[in-house]
Amino acid sequence: MYDLIGDIHGHAGALERLLATLGYARDRGAWRHPERRAVFLGDFIDRGPRIRDTLAIVRGMTDAGTALAVMGNHELNALAHATADPDAPGEFLRRHTPKNLRQLQATHEQLSPGELAAALAWFRTLPLWLDLGGLRVVHACWDDRRMQRVGPADRPIDDAFLAAACSPRGDLHEPVEAILKGKEARLPPGVTFRDKDGADRTKTRVRWYDPPEGHSFRTYAMAAEPIDSDVPLPEEVIAAAVPYASDAVPVFVGHYWLSGARPSLLRGNVACLDWSVARGGFLCAYRWDGERTLDPARFVTAAP
| Segment 183-215, tens digit of pLDDT | 999 998 888 877 777 777 888 999 999 999 999
Please report the pLDDT score of residue 176 as a whole number.
Answer: 98
Mean pLDDT of 41-65: 98
Give the Cβ contact number of residue 258 at 10 Å.
20
Map out the domains of the chain as residue ranges. Answer: 2-183+241-302, 184-240
Mean pLDDT across the chain: 95
Please report the pLDDT score of residue 189 as a whole number.
Answer: 87
The whole model's pTM is what? 0.96
Q: Comparing 191 with 108, which gets the higher pLDDT?
A: 108
Which stretches of 124-266 are DSSP H helices? Answer: 144-150, 159-166, 173-181, 217-220, 235-240
Best CATH choice for the domain 2-183+241-302 from the list 3.30.60.50, 2.30.30.40, 3.40.47.10, 3.60.21.10? 3.60.21.10
Query: Could you give the 3-state DSSP secondary structure of residue 295?
Result: coil
